Amino acid sequence: MTIAQVERDHRASIETTSETAPSVAPAGLRLRGVEKTFGKNRVLRGIDLFVPAGQFLAIVGKSGCGKSTLLRLLVGLDQQTGGTIAFEDGQGQEIAPNSRIVFQEPRLLPWFDVADNVGVGLGDGVARADARRRGEAALAEVQLSDKAKEWPSRLSGGQRQRVALARALVSRPGLLALDEPLGALDALTRISMQALLARVWQELGFTAVLVTHDVTEAVHLADRVIVLDEGRIIRDIAVPQPHPRHHGDASLAKIEGQLLEAILGER
């Protein structure tokens, strides 16, 4: 935890000096005995999990292990059938949930230009001019300032996903949930998006929960990776290597091996 602490302090110092990134404090997550059943199908079976504020957690597992369901519960898209999910600040005080999600598909409104799409992330009750201005600032964070007035249909897949990321971040959420956000992108775009995600996370200091089937991606981005199997956490592995990380790093490859073994072996 000491490394994470150092990193968090480092991030805090960035936040106070940087004017472009006034951020909400990252949210910690405390899950106790979380269950989810669909009919007779028990998708999640008693998940106990604590995610400290500011951590980058990755959830991996086979298809149908319940990882996407867990993510949907975290952002309130579905209700758990048992247990509790609580958001808390860095001091352990409970706070109101404030989360945003990025899906595998960008889900941009095709009839809004890019800046207005990002403005959607601010919710109702923000004047359009103000929303656009803040939207453009968020676009700068994902290096898309020059596309503010484009239609989404004119962008590439990677650019659209960056717009979706800007839309999620513009309201400065305490928790960013990522549901296979890079799953539909080609390999090279993916690598540059991973770098972008890592950088944005370090700059803004939110808590991130990434669901992915790509173990390399999980290890490359996360502080900690948990493996889900049949609705239970079967492995919880810390990834202490500092950022920026390099593809092909031997110590990361070793963790990747352990994870793959856990995902494929245990049954």
Partner 1 sequence: MSILDIQGPARTFGADKPKTFRLPKVDADRLLPFVVPVALVGLWQAGSSFGFISDRIMPSPLAVLSAFWQEAASGDLGHNILVSGARALAGLAVGGSIGFLLGIVNGLSRLSERLTDTTLQMVRTIPHLALIPLVILWFGIGEEAKLFLTALGVLFPVYLNTYHGVRNVDRDLIEMGRIYGMGRWSLFRKVIFPGALPSIFVGLRYALGIMWLTLIVSETIAASSGIGYMANNAREFMMTDIVVLALVIYALLGKLADVVARALERWALSWNPAYQR
Of 169, 171, 177, nearest to 200 (Cα)? 169
Choice from 30, 32, 45, 107 touching partner 1 (CB under 8 A): 107
Interface with partner 1: number of residues (CB under 8 A): 22
Output DSSP code: residue 245.
P
Give the nearest distance from C-beta 112 to partner 1 in angstroms. Answer: 7
Which is closer to partner 1, CB of 102 or CB of 262? Answer: 102
CA atoms within 13 A on the CB side of 201: 25
154 contributes a contact to partner 1 by CB under 8 A: yes
**Paired sense of beta strands 82-88 and 56-60, if any:** unpaired
66 contributes a contact to partner 1 by CB under 8 A: no
Which is closer to partner 1, CB of 28 or CB of 121? Answer: 121
Q: Report how far residue 123's alpha carbon sits from residue 254's, in angstroms, rounded to the nearest whole number.
A: 43
Binding mask 23-62 for partner 1 (x = CB under 8 A): ----------------------------------------
Q: Is the distance from CB of 147 to CB of 159 less than 8 angstroms?
A: yes
76 contributes a contact to partner 1 by CB under 8 A: yes
Which is closer to partner 1, CB of 60 or CB of 138? Answer: 138
111 contributes a contact to partner 1 by CB under 8 A: yes
Of 115, 64, 90, 68, nearest to 211 (Cα)? 68
Which is closer to partner 1, CB of 81 or CB of 112? Answer: 112
183 contributes a contact to partner 1 by CB under 8 A: no
Q: If DSSP codes are grouped into helix, strand and coil, which group holds residue 176?
A: strand
Give the nearest distance from C-beta 110 to partner 1 in angstroms. Answer: 5
Which is closer to partner 1, CB of 1 or CB of 109? Answer: 109
Choice from 12, 46, 112, 241 touching partner 1 (CB under 8 A): 112
Q: Is the distance from CB of 159 to CB of 144 less than 8 angstroms?
A: yes
Can you read off the two tokens belonging to residue 137?
A: 């600032």
Which is closer to partner 1, CB of 107 or CB of 199? Answer: 107
Q: Report how far residue 121's alpha carbon sits from residue 243's, in angstroms, rounded to the nearest whole number.
A: 28
184 contributes a contact to partner 1 by CB under 8 A: no
Burial readout 194-203 (b: 16 or more C-beta within 10 A, e: otherwise):
bbbbbebbeb
In the chain, the largest separation of any two C-alpha atoms, in whole Å, equals 55
Chain centre to alpha carbon of residue 22: 19
Give the nearest distance from C-beta 85 to partner 1 in angstroms. Answer: 15
The residue ranges that bind partner 1 (CB under 8 A) are 75-77, 100-101, 103, 105, 107, 109-113, 120-121, 123-124, 151-154, 167
